[in-house]
Amino acid sequence: MTEKFEKHFKELVKKVEQYLSASIKEENNAQGEIYKAMNYSLLAGGKRLRPVLTLATAELLGADCDEVMPFACALEMIHTHSLIHDDLPALDNDDLRRGRPTCHKAFGEAVALLAGDALLNKAFEVMAEAAAKMNDPAKGARIMQKVGNASGTEGMMGGQVADLRCEGKDITEDQLRYMYAKKTGALLKAPFLIAIEAAGKTGTDEERKLLEYSETIGLAFQIKDDVLDVVGDAKLLGKEPGRDAADGKTTFASLYGVAKCEKILEEMTVKATSIAKTFGEKGEFLREMAEYLLERNY
């Protein structure tokens, strides 16, 4: 990882966190707890990968980063919504997230359920407010539609149901890829869809290349997660590894073993970096991002 990449990554994270911190004001009213619970999870750190990818791709394509920011941060709200609901007893029943008690452990199940709902809702509130003020509000509405499709039944939420139905079953690699493309892939592709639409680059060769890049890192991200659940360190992960095996989940690690997964990951990283390189100097950040995602240990 070059110093330049690290510095720019940190700059983007800082901008994102400033925006997120200002998004949800804690009100001292009868429902004050919902704001606390939302911010507890939203401002708990994390890689901020989705908004960072959105901003970096907007930069690459010459889109207006200020205009893109609300949509970038909406992705982080939707991602956090999904983590809160995933952790609930009805789904994964997790006690720890990023080294801290999960939202329902800290605020109770009822408030966590509603705080998760409210983060999803807030994402669309933020996007609608931004779209209404854009020079081209139809563009804003199209971006919202793409984000909504990414989080909905043919994206993240559908993928979660597919995941539930795969538990304890032997599934094929094709079925696993289908489920991953929706469950985590869709929301990792959304940053590119936002930036491409914002830059007016739909239907271009740049779109085609960026979407191939996004699908590659999206699947690699999930395979890396599968590997970390086998060999990862509890402290770095902020949660106990070994959950997939305990839940009887088919993963790339269970299908092929860790060594073969590492090899697949390297190949996918080469593919992603090659695509990034076709953008020349402008593609440097995405090239390093693919390498960073391969090397991460949490």
Binding site for a copy of itself (CB under 8 A): 24, 27, 29-31, 33-35, 38, 81, 85, 88-91, 109-114, 116-118, 120-122, 124-125, 128-129, 131-132, 134, 137-138, 140-142, 144-145, 148-149, 151-154, 157-162, 164-166, 175, 178-179, 182
DSSP assignment string, 4-25:
HHHHHHHHHHHHHHHHHHHHSP
Question: How near is the Cβ of 277 to a copy of itself at its closest, in Å?
Answer: 34
Give the tokens for residue 118. Answer: 């409210």
Among 146, 223, 151, residue whose Cα is nearest residue 183: 151
Q: Which is nearer to a copy of itself, 162 or 210 (CB)?
A: 162
Euclidean distance between CA atoms 231 and 215, whole angstroms: 24
Euclidean distance between CA atoms 75 and 124, whole angstroms: 10
Question: How near is the Cβ of 50 to a copy of itself at its closest, in Å?
Answer: 16
Cα distances (angstroms) measured from residue 252 to each of 123, 164, 227, 244: 32, 17, 8, 11
Q: Which is nearer to a copy of itself, 120 or 223 (CB)?
A: 120
Q: Which is nearer to a copy of itself, 56 or 190 (CB)?
A: 190
Q: Which is nearer to a copy of itself, 74 or 286 (CB)?
A: 74
Give the tokens for residue 12. Answer: 């983007």
Question: How near is the Cβ of 275 to a copy of itself at its closest, in Å?
Answer: 28
Question: How near is the Cβ of 138 to a copy of itself at its closest, in Å?
Answer: 4
Question: How near is the Cβ of 232 to a copy of itself at its closest, in Å?
Answer: 25
Q: At what angle do helices 65-87 and 186-198 cross, to 10 degrees?
A: 160
Q: Which is nearer to a copy of itself, 141 or 255 (CB)?
A: 141
Q: What is the CA radius of gyration of the chain?
A: 19
Question: How near is the Cβ of 85 to a copy of itself at its closest, in Å?
Answer: 6
Q: Which is nearer to a copy of itself, 178 or 298 (CB)?
A: 178
Angle ∠(58,142,46) on CA atoms, nearest 5: 50
Residue with tokens 């995941």: 163
